[in-house]
Amino acid sequence: MLYAVYGASGAGRGIMPLARDRLPGEELVFIDDGVAGGEVNGHPVLSLDAFLARKAEARKVAVAIADPAVRRRVVERCEAAGLGFFEIRARGVVEMDDVEIGEGALISPFVTFTSNIRIGRHFQANLYSYVEHDCAIGDFVTFAPGVRCNGNITIGDGAYVGSGAVIRQGLTIGVGAVVGMGAVVTRDVPPGVTVIGSPARPMAR
């Protein structure tokens, strides 16, 4: 089996050591068309075409790109090429009762999921984030480090929640919304809206 972390920038470099730990002895490469042909942190960097051409019985990819919209496009490109996906989960992640997470999740160290949680495909949870009880999180959602997602929260597809943000219990974060770094969210966030500050308010345009 040939495994790849798609993306050799910050998100991918943070995920590769976790993949190496969870897949000892397996061949691991980066895919990144922008810097293909070199090496990053001891792993070859291939273009997608070179990855597809490399001899292997089977191939799987983990897409480590923080921007949800870009991640979705890359996943669609991989699907069109017939590639499957795999989850990367750090040791020590805490998962309690009745937690369901879709394919392709990337879960960094010190992340906690409590109970009765539903999370979609290609979720990314960075260091020290948590998801409390009865949350429903869509596809292609990104949590930056230290996100505090309290109970009974609904987060739509493609939302991005910035580092250190706090979301009050019972709220809805709309499809494609952005919660800024350090924001304290006390009201629902409409689809596609960026909120910042404490309490969080829509960003002036």
pLDDT digits (tens, 9 = 90+) for 137-183: 999 999 999 999 999 999 999 999 999 999 999 999 999 999 999 99
Catalytic-residue membership of 133: yes
Quickly state the pLDDT bin for 37 (edges 50, 70, 90): confident
Residue ranges, comma separated, of all CATH 3.40.50.20 domains in the chain are 2-86
CA R_g for the chain: 17
- Written out in words, the top-level CATH class of the domain with range 89-198 is mainly beta
- Written out in words, the top-level CATH class of the domain with range 2-86 is alpha beta
pLDDT digits (tens, 9 = 90+) for 44-78: 999 999 999 998 889 999 999 999 999 999 999 99
N- to C-terminal Cα distance for the chain? 48
How far CA 186 is from CA of 72, 119, 124, 147, 155, in Å, comes to 28, 22, 23, 14, 14
152 contacts 139 by C-beta, under 8 angstroms:
no
Residues 6+ apart with CB under 8 A from 92: 109, 110
CA distance 147 to 140: 16
pLDDT confidence of residue 101: 98
> Is 199's pLDDT higher than 80?
yes
What's the whole-number average pLDDT of the chain? 96
pLDDT digits (tens, 9 = 90+) for 70-127: 999 999 999 999 999 999 999 999 999 999 999 999 999 999 999 999 999 999 999 9
Residues 6+ apart with CB under 8 A from 195: 177, 178, 179, 180, 183, 185, 189, 201, 202, 203
161: left (phi over 0), alpha (psi -120 to 50) or beta: beta
Which of 71, 122, 133, 148 is catalytic? The answer is 133
Quickly state the pLDDT bin for 29 (edges 50, 70, 90): very high
CA distance 155 to 195: 14
pLDDT confidence of residue 36: 83
Cβ atoms within 10 Å of 141's Cβ, excluding its own: 25
Residue ranges, comma separated, of all CATH 2.160.10.10 domains in the chain are 89-198
